[in-house]
A and B are shown apart, each in its own frame.
Chain A
Amino acid sequence: MNAETIVQEYIARIEEACGAEKDFIVHFKYDKKDEAMAKILKKAKVEKTVAKIIFDLTYGNFSFRLYATGKVIFKKIKDKNELYKVLSDLLL
């Protein structure tokens, strides 16, 4: 599967949030969120967790926060292409 297919399978929407931080908010498809989160938690390093609701994670040079509601906030991502690459690595 290529990066685009993987992203399409798991992701409902990507929002580029406004604000100086330039964060990306990734919303998983409702019926795929548990599978997506399990894959991510298997590959990324858990730096911190709050009651298994919030997970502060790192993957390579990237840090991000995963929410049990099926949302991820990526910080300091250069652009959507970079985001797609990280997501496809994590979800493969």
Chain B
Amino acid sequence: MFDPYKVREDFPILKRKINNHPLIYFDNAATSQKPRQVIDAIKEYYEQHNANVHRAVHTLSLEATELYEEAHGEVAKFIGARSMEEVVFVRGTTEAINLVAYSWGLKSLKQGDEVLVTLMEHHSNIVPWEILSKIKGFKVKYLDVNNDGTINHEAFKEALSPKVKIVCVTHVSNVTGVINDVKLLAKIAHENGALMLVDGAQSIPHIPVKVKDLDCDFLAFSGHKMLGPTGIGVLYGKREILEKMEPFHGGGEMIREVSFNPKTRKCTISWNDLPWKFEAGTPNICGGVGLMAAVKYLKTLGMENVKAHECTLTEYAMKRLKECEKTTVYGPQDSTIKCGIIPFNIEGFNSHDVALLLDSYGIMIRSGFHCAQPLHQKFKLSSSARASFYIYNTKEEIDSFIEALKEIEQSL
């Protein structure tokens, strides 16, 4: 039985008071808080097992290597990948998408080709493609979204053509919380000969996701939004595609051999096996260990339970927000097609005012563009306030949030 009150006991930070109020953390789409289990795993790693990984023979290095590889395996099982070879550890979603852009795109994209993205993408799923398009001369094509922030599947089909080589779509919008049917989009993309990259930054922490079911070619996500530490993230890629790709960064770890020929005075280089081919240099070992602890924690809770809890909170918050007469909520009003992210504005205040005012009540939310300026332009918004929920949030916290909003409305 999922019990958010019991879950809260695992999060030391939730005992804090901010501005003399109990901390209410509603900025989970930006980053999540960390349970004791993750904090302890990191502490234990540095106190008991710290060493560099691979190619060393001593005991500590063996322990560190086993932990780091086990972390890849745990993540692979969590997302339903065929093996750990399909799981590359990176710094986060942004680096994962950049890896695909440069390692796959630099070789595979050319003038006349198109990369299809949607208007709801986070900047990290737009900017790498725009930068690369300047080098390779291909076009970044933007798919408009419906007025409620959902994708029109017919428009998606029409946007596809043999020119489109890759479709890059977020699974869950970081602004509206809309859940895209990426399984269907991947099917349509594949029927048109395009690869499918899914930005899973806002989905992997919140809903059950299996890559085999989605049949996406790439999936990018961050550890820190799913209870793990910052600086660690994942790129999943289908093995057959990753094998054909060139490395992203060069250095130690990612090579099998660098053989110098004294006659030609040149080096012959061969790449390491997957996934190490894409993990140049000493990796974020401790980050991997922390991510593994986060994955185990989420698995213990059960991702279906996580999803159900957030659905309950979202539905409750959406219902109660109707009591706030000067508050406008953006995106779909149907809470069943979205995750626990609610963008809103209060008449007479800009979003930063709202965030600062809520801060004085101990309520942490985000304000601004949320790195999704094109979607704000589509909604004709100069910015928005955003509340986002996770496993440790409760209905009582939403009640406090609503009461604070009502007081802010009345302060005008």
Contact B356 A71 (CB under 8 A): yes
Partner of B357, one of A19, A54, A75: A54
Known: A17-B368, A18-B369. A23 touches B350 (CB 8 A): yes
Contact A73 B356 (CB under 8 A): yes
Contact A54 B411 (CB under 8 A): yes
Complexed CA–CA distance, A11 and B68 (Å): 42
Beta-carbon contacts under 8 Å, B351-381 to A: 351-353, 356-357, 359-360, 367-369, 371, 373, 376
Note all chain B residues with C-beta closer than 8 A to A17. Answer: 352, 367-368, 383
Note all chain B residues with C-beta closer than 8 A to A53. Answer: 360
Complexed CA–CA distance, A51 and B367 (Å): 24
Interface of B is mostly: mixed
Contact B369 A67 (CB under 8 A): no
Known: A50-B411, A69-B19. A19 touches B350 (CB 8 A): yes
Task: Verify if B382 is at the interface (C-beta below 8 Å from A).
Answer: yes
Q: How many residues on the B side are at the interface (Cβ–Cβ under 8 A)?
A: 18
Task: Verify if A29 is at the interface (C-beta below 8 Å from B).
Answer: no
Contact A21 B352 (CB under 8 A): yes
Note all chain B residues with C-beta closer than 8 A to A21. Answer: 350, 352, 382-383
Complexed CA–CA distance, A73 and B305 (Å): 40
Note all chain A residues with C-beta closer than 8 A to B367. Answer: 17, 19
Complexed CA–CA distance, A20 and B382 (Å): 5
Interface of A is mostly: loop
A1-33 interface bits toward B, Cβ cutoff 8 Å, 1 = contact, 0 = none: 000000000000000011111010100000000
Contact B383 A19 (CB under 8 A): yes
Contact B383 A25 (CB under 8 A): no
Known: A17-B367, A19-B369. A73 touches B411 (CB 8 A): no
Complexed CA–CA distance, A50 and B367 (Å): 22
Beta-carbon contacts under 8 Å, A59-76 to B: 65, 67-69, 71, 73, 75
Interface centre among A17, A19, A73, A75, by most B CB within 10 Å?
Answer: A19
Complexed CA–CA distance, A50 and B350 (Å): 17
Residues of A within 8 A of B (CB): 17-21, 23, 25, 50-51, 53-54, 65, 67-69, 71, 73, 75
Residues of B within 8 A of A (CB): 19, 350-353, 356-357, 359-360, 367-369, 371, 373, 376, 382-383, 411
